[in-house]
Amino acid sequence: MILLGGLVLRAEDKPAPARTVFVVSGLECGSCVYMVQNQLSHTAGVTAVEVIQGVEGYARVDYDPKLVSEHQIAQAVREAPGLHGTPYIATLKLRIPDYAPNAARVKALFEPWKPAVAMEVWDEKQGELIVYFAEMKKDSSGAFPRGWSLAQLSKGLKSLGLNFEIRAPEGF
């Protein structure tokens, strides 16, 4: 416990960071991994990041969702200097149990978010989806808008009696 000018801060008052694993396309070499990891490490609200390269690249990001949205993190990946002529693109792989019988309702949930994100069904029976983030444009102050967040998805799915999980490689 720390006392600062009458303000008491306790470790338990600080919320635990959120952790999300993004799929990152365009990682062709170790230098690409470094560029994305460095870009994310310098993104406000990101507290830890690990990027791995393989058949698919992944970025495990710990962050404060009050300070940065998943869409802003995906934009930060896109903003990393591309070394091989194409931008790095972050997406999310989700699994929604009971997706198949609720497919129309889940698709309808994504409709109002279309300017910000697009959803692709990867495996309907398994309920596996891919979320693509639209490129964000800076506002007049030079800042990116907040964009779409997993909190919106969580709230929307909860209203349908559904939930989701982020798909990630075993042990990552």
- The domains of the chain are located at 17-166
* Radius of gyration over every alpha carbon of the chain, rounded to an integer in angstroms: 17
Q: Is residue 98 helix, strand or coil?
A: coil
pLDDT of residue 139: 83
Closest CA to 162 of 119, 110, 112, 106: 106
Helices 70-79 and 30-41 sit at what angle, rounded to 10 degrees? 130
pLDDT, tens only, 73-122: 999 999 999 999 999 999 999 999 999 999 999 999 999 999 999 999 99
pLDDT, tens only, 11-47: 555 667 899 999 999 999 999 999 999 999 999 999 9
Q: According to the CATH classification, is domain 17-166 in 2.60.120.10?
A: no
pLDDT of residue 142: 79
Burial class of 153 by CB neighbour count within 10 A (0 to 12, 13 to 18, 19+)? buried
Residue located via tokens 């069904």: 121
pLDDT of residue 14: 63
